[in-house]
Amino acid sequence: MILDQIIFSKKTQSRGFEEVKHSEKPLRSVLKALSWRVVGTLDTLLVSYIFLGEIGLATSIASIDFITKLVLYFFHERIWNTIKWGK
């Protein structure tokens, strides 16, 4: 599903000589999601370790957090990309 959007995305329209962009490409959303999740996961890992004192448990929490929030952020970005307000 996500790969289909990345591969088959056509988000630009040509008008004469200028190209008008209406939204970001899905690949950009994926890369933004990944970079933000790395920062967020390191934060979750550190906070979990401080509170729990166990690196193994903190790593498990951070790993689950990384996957679920990566997917949620991707779809959040794609939905916001369809909203014309503020563009």
Please list the alpha-helical segments (H only) found in 1-87: 2-7, 26-52, 55-81
Is 73:60 a contact under the CB 8 Å cutoff?
Answer: no
Least confident of 5-9, 25-29, 38-42, 74-78: 5-9
What are the sequence ranges of the domains in the chain?
27-87
Residue 45 has pLDDT above 80, yes or no: yes
Q: What is the mean pLDDT of the chain?
A: 82
Query: pLDDT value at position 41?
Result: 93
Overall residue count recorded for the chain in this entry: 87
